Structure 1
């Protein structure tokens, strides 16, 4: 293998390593965002259920004029 070919391969590997590190950073950020969104969805779901339960309790009571 010629020295020029070896240098070209080393340059390509260096670029690929940089790209791989950048992609890993992006994936880690996206995973963090996904976890935050899942937590937000869970909290919203719990709040909706609590509002639903509160409204059901109030709906079963008779109005004050009865």
Structure 2
């Protein structure tokens, strides 16, 4: 719920409770990390990003080839 509240405060989602319900219904597990979002993203796109974990460019790490 804390994540949803923060995203709502930042204007990235409209309703923290709906975000929480979506995360439960679709069984998304939020991974810790630092993320960069766009205001054009849907709540489902944000949930997908949060469940996949931060990308290398968001963490400052380089990906191995």
TM-score normalised to structure 1 length = 0.17
Bigger helix fraction? 1
Higher RCO, 1 vs 2 (CA within 8 Å, ≥6 residues apart): 2
Which of structures 1 and 2 has the bigger CA Rg?
A: 1
Taking structure 2 as the reference length, the TM-score comes to 0.17
